[in-house]
Structure 1
Amino acid sequence: MATLLHIDSSVFPTQASASRVVTEAFRKHWEEEHPQGTVIYRDLAAQPVAHITAEAHLAGFTDPATHTPEQAAVFAERVKLIEELEQADAILIGAPMYNYTIPSTLKAWLDNVILMGRTGGPNPSAKGTPVTVVASRGGSYAPGTPRESYEFVQNYLKAVLADALGLDLEFIVPELTMASQNPAMAELVPLYEASRDQALAAAATRAKQLAERLAA
C-alpha cells in the first residue's frame, strides 16, 4: 500500500488558503487512486515542529551511545520526522510565499529532516522519492516579471529538496492569489482564476501520474 506524506504550512484554513486548496485536491485524487493507502499528515501551522536546537543538531553528528538524555530526547523527535520522509512513497508540500520565502514552520521541518550522512550527502536515504510542492504566491515572480529576482521559494526548495535530499521534485504554482482581495489587483483576477484552475488540474494530473508510476 502506498504512503503519502502530506505537509501543509499555510497559516490560513483551507477555504482561505490557495496552497491548501490545491494540496487538498491532490490528496483527494491520490486517495481515490490509493483507497487502501496511508496518508501521514502534518499541519505545521496547527502543530509546528520544534525549531532545531544545539542539542538536536549536534546529536546528528555523534554516536547515539554518547548522547545525553536531553540529546536523546530531541534527536528521537528528529528521527521520527526523518523516518516519515524515508518511508513515504510520495511527498506533498504546501509552501506559500510569505515575505518572499517559505513559512518559518516549513523551514523548521526541513531543518529537522535534513541530516547529512543520512537524508543528505552522497547517498540520500529518500533519493528518488517524488515530491510535489504547491508554491502559491500573492503576485507573480515568474521569469521575465519585475519581481523575478525576489523569488526565494522555488530556488531554495530546489536546492534543498532536489539537490540536497535527491528527491524527484515538481512544482505547482498558483500565482496572483491576492488579486481577489486587493482592489489594486482587480484587473488581474482573470489571470489569478486561470492560474488557480491550472493548479487544480495539475494536482489531479500529478496524483494520477504518480499512482501509475508506483503501480508499474
Structure 2
Amino acid sequence: MQILRIDSATTGEQSVTRKLTQKLVDHFRQQNPDATVIERDLVADPLSHIDGITTAAIRTPPETHEEAVAEAYPEQRAVLDEFLASDVVIVGAPMYNFSIPSQLKAWLDRLGVPGVTFKYSEAGPEGLAGGRKVVVASARGGTYDNDQIAENQESLLQTFFGFIGVDDLHFVRVEKTGFGPDAIAAGLKAAEEKIAGL
C-alpha cells in the first residue's frame, strides 16, 4: 500500500491542516504498518504555476515533445504518477480567501490530464482515476455550508476529484479556527473521531 500526503498550508507548526494530515497518516499506517508514505510539501518544495511548457508536458504525448517540453516532462509526470500509484491520498487543504492555496491548485493542475485521468465522449465526461481513497484535511476560520456562495474550497475539491473519477472521497474538517485555541482544540477532537471511522 502507498499513502500520499500533500501539505499546502503556509503557516508551519500553527497549521491545523498539517496536524490533520499527520493524524491521518498515523491512522492509516496503524491500519497498514507496511505502507509506504510519500510526502509532498507544496510550500517547502512548491510546484510552479503551469505555463505553456508545463501544460504541453502534462497534456501532450511524449513523442510530440520539443526539447524544452521533453526536459520538463519527467518532473511534471512524476506528480501525476505518484498520485496514480497511491492507494490513499491525504490532501491538506486550508481555506485561503474563500478557496484553496494556489500551491494546491498548481498540484491539481497536474492531475487533470485528458485521456489519463478523464475523457470525454458523447455521454459526457468520464473520470478515469478511481480506485483510490482521497481524504481532504480541511480547515476554515469560520463556518460554511457547501451551498454558500463564498464556499469555493471544499466544493472545488469535491467537483475536481469527482470529475477525475474519485468516488471514495472524504472530508475531515476543523472549522472556527479563527475563533481561538479552544475552538481549534474542540474541532481537532471532533476530527479525530471522524478519522477513527475511516
CA drift at 1:33:
1.8
Aligned partner of 1:160 in structure 2 is 160
Distance in 1 between the 2:33 and 2:110 partners? Answer: 30
**Which structure has more helix as a fraction of its residues?**
1
More moved, 37-46 vs 73-82: 73-82
Aligned partner of 1:136 in structure 2 is 139
Unaligned 5+ segments in structure 1 are: 182-188, 207-216
Map residues 4-153 of structure 1 onto 2, 5 A cutoff: 4-14=3-13, 16-121=14-119, 124-142=127-145, 148-153=148-153
CA drift at 1:140:
0.6
CA contact under 8 A between 2:10 and 2:43: conserved in structure 1?
Answer: yes
CA drift at 1:204:
2.9
* SS class of match (2:188): helix
Structural RMSD (CA)? 1.9
Scaled by the length of structure 2, the TM-score of the pair is 0.89
Aligned partner of 1:3 in structure 2 is 2
Q: What do residues 119-143 of structure 1 show as CA deviations (whole Å, max 9, x unaligned)?
A: 1225544213110001110111126
* SS class of match (1:52): coil
Aligned partner of 2:189 in structure 1 is 197
Q: What do residues 123-174 of structure 1 show as CA deviations (whole Å, max 9, x unaligned)?
A: 5442131100011101111268xxx321101111111112234342111110
Amino acid at match of 1:6: R
Amino acid at match of 2:7: D
Amino acid at match of 2:145: A
Scaled by the length of structure 1, the TM-score of the pair is 0.82
* SS class of match (2:139): coil
More moved, 86-95 vs 56-65: 56-65
Distance in 1 between the 2:136 and 2:73 partners? Answer: 26
Distance in 1 between the 2:195 and 2:43 partners? Answer: 22
Distance in 2 between the 1:143 and 1:33 partners? Answer: 31
* SS class of match (1:24): helix
CA drift at 1:59:
3.5
**Which structure has more strand as a fraction of its residues?**
2
Query: How many pairs are equivalent?
Result: 193
CA contact under 8 A between 2:128 and 2:164: conserved in structure 1?
Answer: no
Unaligned 5+ segments in structure 2 are: 120-124
Distance in 1 between the 2:164 and 2:35 partners? Answer: 28
Distance in 1 between the 2:66 and 2:167 partners? Answer: 32
Which protein is bigger by CA-based radius of gyration?
1
Distance in 2 between the 1:160 and 1:59 partners? Answer: 21
Aligned partner of 1:185 in structure 2 is none
Distance in 2 between the 1:47 and 1:107 partners? Answer: 14
Amino acid at match of 1:177: T
Aligned partner of 1:175 in structure 2 is 175
Distance in 2 between the 1:79 and 1:127 partners? Answer: 18
